């Protein structure tokens, strides 16, 4: 990474892309705080990352403003905030079956949650710091059943551009992953996860779907590059081309 990273908050750091990012930052010598709603998942994540003196874990629901405020009451001297959290369970449905409450939960987790992280986290960041969110390919290549997630990802990318202006010189960016083999596919595809991922791998120019480490590397680039802000970095194996 171009800049030295000493302290990073990874929201959604208990699994998938967030866990891969936490591991990468620890390997780079950074102090890392992983945060998420589920204390048991956080405990398992800490165990998988090893008994690391540079690692902390904090349970927080980023859709609850009081909890986000309390989190940043405890945190000081941050270099970067990254958020990979998403609660999209129940939101991948055709319109006749769509549960509005599930759609609202997804919106809260991927738009209002990041907004709260920016509201309370920006004052705790050093001026050279950054905030990185994760949108997704659904904003560009939506599938049937994906209208909610497409709208959410597009909204998040608009938020990124606005926050990059408002919070400057703090940098605000997003990574837009394509299809990545993470636990979230259990909600999207159920028993068809392997079949769907294999089918997409055959379509993509790179010949495979993404891995959590691919997204972690992209987030690390955005954290370390001091001349990038208001940007959506597409890491999707060429999905937008097919």
Find where tokens 């620890």 sit: 26
Active site annotation includes 48: no
236: Cβ–Cβ under 8 A, 6 or more apart, which residues? 137, 176, 177, 178, 179, 210
Would you say 158 and 114 are in contact if contact means Cβ atoms under 8 Å apart? no
Cβ neighbors of 179 (< 8 A, separation 6 or more) are 137, 197, 200, 204, 209, 210, 236, 237, 239
3-state helix, strand, coil in the chain (%, to 5): 50, 20, 35
State the catalytic residue, choosing from 14, 15, 130, 135. Answer: 135
CB-CB contact of 11 with 68 (8 Å): no
Q: Which residues are catalytic?
A: 135
């Amino acid at each position: 990474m171009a800049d030295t990273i000493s302290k990073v908050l990874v929201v959604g750091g208990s699994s998938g892309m967030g866990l891969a990012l936490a591991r990468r930052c620890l390997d780079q010598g950074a102090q890392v705080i992983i945060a998420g709603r589920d204390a048991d998942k956080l405990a398992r994540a800490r165990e998988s990352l090893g008994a690391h003196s540079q690692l902390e874990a904090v349970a927080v629901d980023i859709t609850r403003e009081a909890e986000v405020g309390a989190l940043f009451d405890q945190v000081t001297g941050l270099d970067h905030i990254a958020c990979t959290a998403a609660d999209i369970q129940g939101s991948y449905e055709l319109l006749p079956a769509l549960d509005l409450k599930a759609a609202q939960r997804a919106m809260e987790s991927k738009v209002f949650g990041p907004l709260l992280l920016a509201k309370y986290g920006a004052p705790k960041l050093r001026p050279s710091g950054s905030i990185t969110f994760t949108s997704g390919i659904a904003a560009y290549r939506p599938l049937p059943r994906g209208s909610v997630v497409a709208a959410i990802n597009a909204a998040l990318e608009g938020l990124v551009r606005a926050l990059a202006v408002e919070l400057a010189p703090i940098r605000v960016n997003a990574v837009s992953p394509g299809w990545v083999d993470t636990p979230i596919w259990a909600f999207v595809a159920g028993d068809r996860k392997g079949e769907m991922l294999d089918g997409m791998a055959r379509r993509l120019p790179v010949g495979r779907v993404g891995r959590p480490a691919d997204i972690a590397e992209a987030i690390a680039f955005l954290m370390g590059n001091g001349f990038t802000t208001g940007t959506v970095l597409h890491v999707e194996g060429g999905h937008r081309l097919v």
